[in-house]
Chains A and B, each alone.
Chain A
């Protein structure tokens, strides 16, 4: 899990991983405070800008850093909360704007894909040739081939339940 306990620790960890955080320190501190409220409330770091169900399994995609951070950084220059931003935003080359939440649409897309891929046998055919399954970290995209995903992602520290088997 990311370290939300202090601004300095959070910033360092983000930067060590190649990410940038919003330079409005007061805003970031308020977000971290809210994440800590959610940790106390739900037992996990649910996104403070999204509605949590209270069930970890249903909210896995919105545990900070969420599954949508990276696509939003690429498309909009910031994550939905504007906690994480791009270097271009920090340098003033790109303006921060209000971002539509892609969660509901992405989930619908994923459900539709899962339905069609269950009819498609190609991945299981490939799997037959692999010695071990391939796991993907849904937060940062890290891939590994092993029987079970690691307890924590070695790249972004996301927990084991944030991995999906892709092959």
Chain B
């Protein structure tokens, strides 16, 4: 899958699954940027075909509900939804 990269402070491998139309995803991105976190993101709604299948399969491993936003940190820790306090605690 093709990831978009945002530069910032290295706080581990941070991957955000998002939708380009989702306001909570927008808030999550704004918070990550406010916290100056280096991260990668993918707008899953803008993918199609095989790439879509691959991204959804990867997301499903971390979040059975396939919901957005989902942040995966260091291939280990998952934050589902715009959990502001939790995001600040883990990445702030």
Closest to A81 in B: B23
Q: Which of A9-17, A49-57, A112-120 contacts B (4 or more CB under 8 A)?
A: A49-57
Best-surrounded residue of A82, A98, A103 (most CB of chain B within 10 A): A98
Q: What chain B residues lie within 8 Å of A52 (beta carbons)?
A: 45
* Chain B 66-81 near chain A by CB (<8 Å), digits 1 or 0: 1110000000000011
A35 to B45, CA, bound (A): 13
Is there an interface contact between B19 and A100, defined as CB atoms closer than 8 Å? Answer: no
A100 to B80, CA, bound (A): 8
Partner of A104, one of B25, B44, B65: B65
Number of interface residues of A (CB under 8 A): 22
Q: What chain A residues lie within 8 Å of B22 (beta carbons)?
A: 34, 48-49, 81
A149 to B17, CA, bound (A): 38
Number of interface residues of B (CB under 8 A): 20
Q: What chain A residues lie within 8 Å of B64 (beta carbons)?
A: 104
Is there an interface contact between A49 and B24, defined as CB atoms closer than 8 Å? Answer: yes
Is there an interface contact between B21 and A38, defined as CB atoms closer than 8 Å? Answer: yes
* Chain A 32-59 near chain B by CB (<8 Å), digits 1 or 0: 0011011000000000111110000000
Q: What chain B residues lie within 8 Å of A102 (beta carbons)?
A: 65
A48 to B23, CA, bound (A): 8
A77 to B20, CA, bound (A): 25
Chain B interface residues (CB < 8 Å from chain A): 19-26, 44-45, 56, 64-68, 80-83
